[in-house]
Amino acid sequence: MPTTIDSARALLRAHRLAEAEAAARRLIAEDPGSVDAREILVLAALARQDHAAAEAGLREILALAPDAGWARDDLARLLLDSGRPAEAEIEVRAAIAVDPGHADAHAMLGAFLSGRERLVEGAWHLRRAIALAGRHPQILANLARNLMRQGALDEASAMAAEALRAAPDLLAAAVLVVEIAEQGGDLDAAHRALDHATRLAARAGRDTLLLRATLLSQGPQWQEALALLDALPAMSGAARLLRGRLRDRAGRHGEAWADVVAGKAALAAAAGRRYDKAAVEAHFARLAAITMPDAPRPAHREGPQPLFILGMPRSGTTMAEQLLSSHGRIRAGGELPFTAELEDVAGRLTGSPFPQGFGQLSAADHHHLPALFRDVYLGRAEAYGLRQPGADFFTDKMPLNEIVLPLIRVAFPEAPLVAVRRHPLDTLVSIMMHDMTHGQDCGYRIEDAAHQLAAVSALTETYRNRLGIAPHVFCYERFVADQPGETDRLMAHVGLAAEPAQARFHENRRHAPTPSYAQVREPLHARSIGRWKNYEEQLAPILPIVDAAMQRGGYRA
């Protein structure tokens, strides 16, 4: 009987892999361009768990048929399963370039971008996938998680509920319903939803203990959460970090510090995160040597302008944004990625990575670049919906934007700059209590966080003294002591009169999608001031590192 594609496929379905492969090779010998025969070889390789052979086969198919969307999808999934997400994303983007109506590729790219915190772009692709392929529960759940992280809790809640109605056994959607309710402050609804999620998790051989403890930790039953975690024989890094925060709340400070150090180490190891001190020092040395270019100031473009909130993570930047965005003429932008993108644009257009090529802006044939930087940034803001009429400003509170202040200044010479200042030791304790990747992954060891804080403090002092870039200092402790006075001084810097709603910034209905989301819903209090004193012994080794930064701010240990 002659070999046919159908007979080769029958052999494959019968799991007679060697015979199916031999048949496929005979077909390729007869027709070297046979995509169907190569597909059989790929499927046989996957059945044998031979990922290298499957990858090679898929790449051969795409060389023969670049528009074979199924092959590119399979290759992307194979690369992702092999721990190569960057290569998988390249294939997904190529699939969309070939076929803009490729729903699976949009869904995958949306998931990739969301995982990298490119939330607005990720949401666009997930919405596109839904428009093309329908309201599939998993895509709805992925979009709901993205929207939750953007702070759009109402839409996220509706979408997660829709996903769960369509697929009542979808654990990811059930967990999302709990998390969205908790972040929105509806703890009763979160507890009700947790019961369903717990039943689904049990069927899958998983548990919801960490989710339950997280939920309990947000209310008056926080001691139950601590007891639940204390009883665990083994803990993940995230669970240990949560127990550290609860032990801190219970006054068990020595145990709390041991937990956060161990929890952070486990999280860093699991994600492969490491702070490169030498690389940071070399980069900051280049930044400190910057000279402001002799280039024309870009003209003002009408519409809402950026208002930059600067500061270390956990220094009070979220509180400052809530205060500012309680004003009727200021729109909250959150942690925008635009300045990092400007660094890439500057590097490409000057021919050298920022800041090495910054001086090129003084050349006449580069005088147009500051205006181009402005337009790139504002174009991205328009795509995020931040330039719509009805506001004078939108906030950009990406932590550590102050590192690229010279680049911000050439693009926006008149933009308000607000530097949030808090006792460095309180800031460092709070950084250690939460999982965050800002600052080149400095937050996983107290020594690294202290080094980053000190380096940023020294750099911004250089900018102030050498370049004349002097942001308004918004002091956390002074704000707690004199809320009206500090608010008036802040708004005078912005150029707007303070409004009564700013005195009740904790009532701001906007959800702040940061670890501070619960704190900024509370009225102003002084409980976090001087928290570092509970950890004097643990902080003693890093005092020499941050001594100069403390002196600049007028703080003492």
Query: Which H helix or E strand runs over 117?
Result: none
Looking at the predicted structure, is the pLDDT value of residue 517 above 80? no
pLDDT at residue number 438: 86
Tens-digit pLDDT profile for residues 524-551: 777 789 999 999 999 999 999 999 999 9
**Is residue 448 over pLDDT 90?**
yes
| Buried/exposed 56-65: b ≥16 CB within 10 Å, e otherwise | ebbebbbeee
Confidence of residue 506 (pLDDT cuts 50, 70, 90): confident
Q: What pLDDT sits at residue 116?
A: 87
Cβ count within 10 A of residue 475: 19
pLDDT attached to residue 511: 60
What is the reported pTM? Answer: 0.87
Domains and CATH numbers, the chain: 5-219 (1.25.40.10), 289-553 (3.40.50.300)
Encode 311-344: b = buried (16+ Cβ within 10 Å), e = exposed: bbbbbbbbbbbbbbbbbebbbbbbbbbbbeebee
Reported as a single tens digit per residue, the pLDDT across 48-101 is: 999 999 999 999 999 999 988 889 999 999 999 888 999 999 999 999 999 999
Q: What is the mean pLDDT of residues 157-180?
A: 96
How many C-beta atoms surround the C-beta of residue 47 within 10 A?
13
Q: Give pLDDT, residue 62.
A: 93
- Tens of pLDDT, residues 108-121: 999 999 998 899 99
**Residues 401, 57: Cα–Cα separation, whole Å:** 45
Least confident residue range of 181-190, 397-406, 522-531, 546-555: 522-531
Mean of pLDDT over the chain: 93
Both tokens of 541, joined, read: 């080794």
CA triple 473-398-374, angle to 5 deg:
90
Query: What is the model's pLDDT at position 49?
Result: 92
468 pLDDT above the threshold of 60: yes
Question: What mean pLDDT is predicted for residues 493-498?
Answer: 97
Average pLDDT over residues 468-485: 96
116 burial via Cβ count (<10 Å: 0-12, 13-18, 19+): middle
pLDDT digits (tens, 9 = 90+) for 298-313: 999 999 999 999 999 9
Give the pLDDT confidence of 245-286 residue by residue, as tens digits. Answer: 999 999 999 999 999 999 999 999 999 999 999 999 999 999
Helix, strand, coil percentages for the chain (3-state, nearest 5): 65, 5, 30
Model confidence pLDDT, tens digit, residues 347-368: 999 999 999 999 999 999 999 9
pLDDT band for position 522 (cuts 50, 70, 90): low
Percent of the chain with pLDDT over 70: 97
Span 23-52, mean pLDDT? 92
Instruction: Report the pLDDT averaged over residues 485-507.
Output: 94
- Provide the sign of the torsion angle of the four alpha carbons 258, 264, 270, 276, taken in this order: negative
> How high is the pLDDT of residue 505?
87
Quote the CA–CA distance of 42 and 75 in Å, as a whole number.
10
At 512, is the pLDDT very low, low, confident or very high (cuts 50, 70, 90)?
low
Residue from 274, 267, 209, 216 nearest 238 by CA: 267
Average pLDDT over residues 391-396: 97
Q: Which pLDDT value is given to residue 233?
A: 84
